[in-house]
Amino acid sequence: MTITLPQAPSLPPLLARGALLSPFKRPRPDAEFPRTRLVLPGVRIDLARLAAYERVCGFATGDDALPVTYPHVLGFPLAMRLMSGRDFPLPLLGLVHTSIEITQRRALAATGEYELSVHIDELVPHRRGTEAAVVSEVRAGGEVVWESRSTYLARHRTGSRTSSEPAERKEPAAREPLPAVADWRLAGDVGRRYGAVSGDRNPIHLHPLTARLFGFPRAIAHGMWTVARCVAAHGTPAAVVVRAGFRAPVPLPGTVTYAAEGGLFELRGGDRVHVTGGVYPLVS
């Protein structure tokens, strides 16, 4: 079923609804999930909000082309509407963003008009629980010009791992650390600043006190902020694939090392790797 929305959903009521429903969810990989595709036509970019996003994430401001990570921000309210609903089987509270893959087929003009769509593609077993895959698409003139696939993990007790679990769910093999490029000192307000421009005001990112309610001694950076910051430092061609996996939270304030070689990048703190990823030219 496709639902066309007249405007982007308001995030605070969705987050509140998701929080209230979370204790009643019983996640499992064979659960039913909403098959709805939400569509938002006629999307235009708020240039002031875009500039604020670029400053927070380290992108150059004033370019006509959108940062490759920015459409994720545009689609986030639609994703939250789906994942905060009664028919979504995973609890929104405690849901962990584990990976993202972005495919951009050409540069997206900041002054363009677009159609957004978001749907949940599947639920799959994970050795630590159940993972949901959320697909977002941006169309211009009826053509898909940008798409992403994000995975979100609900942790819960599972039985013994079976051979049917996909091989790609295994932990990646250890490899040599990438060469360090720069050390970044992260201020304690990075989560609040990114939350203001992205709309993602999850309490684990905002203040130490609210983060402690969910088991974190300090606030932690948004995963999508860490990816955007790395991509801004790395640079991307107009047609590109960006892949990233979130390995460990980035505490705020703190210092992390940005490392890169060729198309690969990572963010680490000491011996702990927080984010791994890659930037690959899209070959048509």
The pLDDT profile of the chain, 284 residues, written as one tens digit per residue, is 999 999 999 988 998 899 899 999 988 899 999 999 999 999 999 999 999 999 999 999 888 999 999 999 999 999 999 999 999 999 998 788 999 999 999 999 999 999 999 999 999 999 889 999 999 999 999 999 999 999 999 988 887 554 334 433 444 455 789 999 999 999 999 999 999 999 888 888 999 998 888 788 999 999 999 999 999 999 999 999 999 999 999 999 999 999 999 999 999 998 899 999 999 999 86
pTM for the model:
0.90
Angle (nearest 5°) at CA 2 between 124 and 115:
100
| Nearest CA-CA partner of 154 in 120, 183, 127, 135 | 127
Burial class (CB in 10 A: 0-12, 13-18, 19+), 72: buried
CA 233 to chain CA centroid, Å, is: 18
